[in-house]
Structure 1
Amino acid sequence: MDKIRFFSYPGHGTVAELMCEKLCSPGIRGCTQPLHCDGLVVVAAALSSQIFVCNPAIKELVLLPTGSPDCSDKPQMVGFSVDTSTGEYKVVRCFWRYCNADMTNYSIGCEIFTLGALAWKPVADPPYLVKSMTPVCLPGAIYWSVGITIFTQAMLRFNLHDEQFTMFPAPPCMELADDCSNLTNMFGKLGYAHMTGHTVQLWMAEDDGVQLPKWSLYFTIVLPWTVWNLIPFSAYQGVIYLLDLTHTYRYNTQNRSLEQVVKLHQEISYVQPQGTLNPYIPGGWD
């Protein structure tokens, strides 16, 4: 059997400590980007149906029941947030029933697992093909990147209370074939990090549920080297934190400087409670 492991890193230093671990089916070699809400963390195995919910405060790690079959060969399409009307936490999963090679003939479904329930519940199908780009999950809503046609980019908003999809305007720079840019949650709002290789453009959208949402360019980071996958994930006192596959960076919005914080796979020791070192990367796949 394999194990999934969660480590806690305080944001400084070179040590991350094991919080919890759980046995899982063999064959897992990666996971999707973790999703978090009110201290709970959801991680989905990239190429299998396994989805885990972690409560770091009590060191609890739970494997959710298996959902509907998914014929996609891409990472799982999973969202997670809270229904602000009821206080219920919901995991939302989209899956392909079938899809032809050029993605012009397909059927895609959606289901919800409310934490504390016993099984997944089917809901209305998404009207368009949902991309495997990690969605942005905010209180009350989840935002997905979709393709209306093989050439037309769009977005969907999933309301966690009425459990319905509605159309949402896409950023003007979002392209269907762009696998480097990412939706992101910044300042508790919907953002989009557009990668050009030498810059990161952060676009932000206001969505109050009343007025038509509009996107605006918040800032542009000029990179000192070529990077094709850099996600802004947090902001604090004028500093923007960004993450690529193996490094964490911070960008000072006042002096416009970018510096590396830590190399996750080289400079961090992953320590188990008894003090022994663990050589695995965050997520801790055995």
Structure 2
Amino acid sequence: MDPPYPIKARTPICLSGSFYWSALHSMANGKVISDVILRFSLFDETFTVHPNPPCRGYLSDNDTLCALDGKLCYVLSATEWEIAIWLAEDGPNLSWSLCHRVTLPIPRRLLVFACPSTEPEKIFLSVDGCYVFKLSLSDGSLEEIINIPCDVLYDLRNGTKFKAGARLLAHYMVPFVESLMRIQPLE
């Protein structure tokens, strides 16, 4: 089955037996006017179309979709210093609610990803793949966990050690997905 709209070149999010993507809804003069969220159910292999959160009609280059506490999460990065975290309740229609607004201690250049933590009411924020902060959702405090360019010491095979510094290196946080394979055939 083909999706009803062109899917944007972003990694899909897998939650509760469904894949979620941002998809192009409309364009004018070569610019995106609006996006939608596509959900593909692995149970009945159908697409459904859902609106973006009310904060923005399209997923910008600096915004991200991710999974957080079993919910679809939209990280709105309207400025380089501020983000807003929106969560969607799953159901026949996605119901978005603003979870938290955050002022970053450093400006983001590209992206901020949100990742779950094992601690209640806390999440991790990865800023540009260089800094990881722990955010308390109860009081809004941010704790720096690691500054990768300064704190991570890499070992080369020849025994040389170095820090990344200003080098562009890619670090990814990958969410755990138990299985995407169907164990039993469809009935």
Same fold (TM over 0.5): yes
Q: Which of 62, 67, 71 lines up with 1:185 in the alignment?
A: 67
Q: CA deviation at 1:160?
A: 1.5
Kept in 1: contact 2:115–2:125 (CA 8 A): yes
1:260 match = 144
1:39 match = none
More strand by share: 1
Query: How many residues are matched?
Result: 158
Extract structure 1 runs of 4+ deviating beyond 4 A: 274-284
2:103 match = 222
Give TM-score, length-normalised by structure 2: 0.72
For 1:195, give the aligned amino acid: S
Q: What secondary structure is seen at the aligned counterpart in 2 of 1:149?
A: strand
Give TM-score, length-normalised by structure 1: 0.49
Cα distance in 1, alignment partners of residues 146 and 115 from structure 2:
15
Paired-residue identity, %: 29
- Structure 2, unaligned runs of 5 or more: 28-32, 173-187
Cα distance in 1, alignment partners of residues 132 and 6 from structure 2:
32
Kept in 1: contact 2:52–2:58 (CA 8 A): no
Moved more, 126-135 or 181-190: 126-135
Alignment of 1:28-177 (within 5 A): 124-150=1-27, 151-176=33-58
Q: CA deviation at 1:234?
A: 1.5
For 2:89, give the aligned amino acid: E
Higher relative contact order (CA 8 A, sep 6+): 1
Residues 177, 217 of structure 1: alpha-carbon distance in 2 compared, 3 angstrom cutoff: closer
Cα distance in 2, alignment partners of residues 182 and 191 from structure 1:
8
RMSD between aligned alpha carbons?
A: 2.7
